[in-house]
Structure 1
Amino acid sequence: MIGATALRALVLTAAFFAALSPATCLGENSNRLPAKATKELPPELLSLLRQKKMPKYSPILVRVFKQEAELEVWKQDTTGLFKILKVYPICRWSGDLGPKLKEGDRQAPEGFYTITPELMNPNSDYHLAINVGFPNSFDKANNRDGSLLMIHGDCSSSGCYAMTDEQISEIYSLARDSLGGRPSFQLQAYPFRLTPANLAQHRNSPNLSFWKMLKVGNDHFETTHLEPKVDVCNRRYVFDA
């Protein structure tokens, strides 16, 4: 039988080594994160953060526009408002304008999504990846299904928003830093910039009512520069209800 003193020593030793073990996060498994997932932001982007008075670990918000093929990263500055940090050209997206409806339709999603640390994939075959979280509660309420819809590298898309490896490296690092001690950030995915002119151009689309619904959340953000609170009621998006 192990004596009380020896048993206590074993317990303390186990606790000490447990404290030295890194906690898993950002979608990682028990293996150590690859270097590409822990890479620091490039010096020029760190300099831009300082110029714009954006703390390195402050929240971000991501907006995607299909028609313009642009991904915007907004970041909270010292005033507490979101300001534009950088615009990335989307290398490739698949499908047409309009939301994703079912598995295999090759459509990139549109809507409001919540990105949690578990949706960050440091071991992606496409360099690095961020799962957009499709289907969300709105998608499920409207019987839309699909899986593994990402923002990722490798410039190859099948229902995803594909970036270059260099771009996704920056975007992933910005997302990773913003999630330090924070549960999530918001992704807003749009068919195009929801201006009156663009909506008028697509007035005959069967998706017009859906896009007008998204415009409410879009306009809230563009007016206040604050993240809109998003809920789903009666199969519709509602904002700051």
Structure 2
Amino acid sequence: MKFLHFFPLICLIMTNCNPTPTSSHTADEDRVQTALQDKGKSMQQHLTLHQLDSTNLHLLFVAYKDIDRLDVFAKSTRDTAYKRIQQYKICARSGQLGPKKAEGDKQVPEGFYHINRFNPKSKFYLSLGLNYPNAYDRAQQYTGSDIFIHGKWETVGCLPMTDELMKEIYLYALWAKESGQEKIPVYIFPFEMTDENMEKYKSQVEESTFSFWQNIQEGYLLFQKNHQELSTKVQNQKYIFTF
């Protein structure tokens, strides 16, 4: 059996991915305001092109590990279906294809998550925390914590976006939160889960990993069909998907 190993675009120099607050309060408190000054106007114009507004916005993020891409989907609060409005390059990665299973394994999780905390004082500039481990991960007895979408270039197990791109991502998420969205979904896939790609990667992972991929492919295909947020629950240690 072969494993598909990934190497980050830059050297991994961090020991963990916990974006704890820094000590410089003045700089920290200015970061969101700086993001607004640098990006706010152009982002508002971009939303207008998609018939959207920052005061009436819901978001959904989709990440693909193999191609280092984060897609931003958005809709108005009254709509049901999302549409993709932005694509960002994830600037570094660690680990290999497959789920995160243990604290310190350097893996990026795979599955269906949501943003559960905002950190404007992160040592990674700005960061958005994910609810890893979720119900599925806990059912598998997976361990670990502190998985973030964040700024800077380096990471171990998170999604680093650079400071400049993180300004935009953080603002989008903040506008969605201010529009009343309590949980912003984040779907993380190993790759675009077409049947062709499933066959391509099947021989490169353990049977248990491929079985997990078959499970999350169900959610991937449902989202691709309707671009609606999925309702997920865990039953018999598997995801069950509905709208």
TM-score range, shorter chain: 0.7 to 0.9
2:156 corresponds to which residue? 158
2:8 corresponds to which residue? none
Is 2:237 aligned against 1:239? no
Instruction: Write the mapping of 1:1-241 to structure 2, written as runs, cut at 5 A.
Output: 34-38=29-33, 39-40=35-36, 41-56=39-54, 57-77=56-76, 79-116=79-116, 119-180=117-178, 181-204=180-203, 205-206=205-206, 207-240=209-242
* Secondary structure of the structure 1 residue equivalent to 2:155: coil
Instruction: Return the offset for 1:182.
Output: 2.4
What is the root-mean-square deviation of aligned Cα atoms in Å?
A: 1.9
Q: Deviations over 1:50-103 (max 9, x none)?
A: 011122131100000000100001001475420001000000111101100000
Q: Tell me the distance in 1 between the aligned counterparts of 2:30 and 2:198.
A: 43
Structure 1: which amino acid aligns with 2:146? L
Q: Structure 2: which 5+ runs fail to align?
A: 1-19
Please give the TM-score of this superposition, normalised by the length of structure 1.
0.82
Q: Tell me the distance in 1 between the aligned counterparts of 2:200 and 2:169.
A: 32
Q: How many residues align?
A: 211
Q: Tell me the distance in 1 between the aligned counterparts of 2:97 and 2:173.
A: 26
Structure 2: which amino acid aligns with 1:175? A
Higher relative contact order (CA 8 A, sep 6+): 2
* Secondary structure of the structure 2 residue equivalent to 1:92: coil
Instruction: Return the offset for 1:34.
Output: 1.4
Instruction: Return the offset for 1:125.
Output: 0.2
Q: Tell me the distance in 2 between the aligned counterparts of 1:79 and 1:103.
A: 39
Structure 1: which amino acid aligns with 2:133? P
Q: Tell me the distance in 1 between the aligned counterparts of 2:181 and 2:224.
A: 23
* Secondary structure of the structure 2 residue equivalent to 1:64: strand
Q: Structure 1: which 5+ runs fail to align?
A: 1-26
Q: Tell me the distance in 1 between the aligned counterparts of 2:58 and 2:181.
A: 8
Identity across matched positions, percent = 30
Q: Tell me the distance in 1 between the aligned counterparts of 2:44 and 2:118.
A: 22
* Secondary structure of the structure 1 residue equivalent to 2:42: helix
Is the 8 Å Cα contact of residues 111 and 216 (structure 2) preserved in structure 1? yes
Q: Tell me the distance in 1 between the aligned counterparts of 2:80 and 2:226.
A: 11
* Secondary structure of the structure 2 residue equivalent to 1:85: strand
Structure 2: which amino acid aligns with 1:81? A
Instruction: Return the offset for 1:45.
Output: 2.1
Q: Which runs of 4+ in 1 moved over 4 A?
A: none
Q: Tell me the distance in 2 between the aligned counterparts of 1:186 and 1:161.
A: 15
Q: Tell me the distance in 2 between the aligned counterparts of 1:103 and 1:157.
A: 14
* Secondary structure of the structure 2 residue equivalent to 1:147: coil
Q: Tell me the distance in 1 between the aligned counterparts of 2:134 and 2:80.
A: 27
* Secondary structure of the structure 1 residue equivalent to 2:63: strand
1:15 corresponds to which residue? none
Instruction: Return the offset for 1:225.
Output: 1.3
Please give the TM-score of this superposition, normalised by the length of structure 2.
0.82
Q: Tell me the distance in 2 between the aligned counterparts of 1:229 and 1:183.
A: 14
* Secondary structure of the structure 2 residue equivalent to 1:223: helix
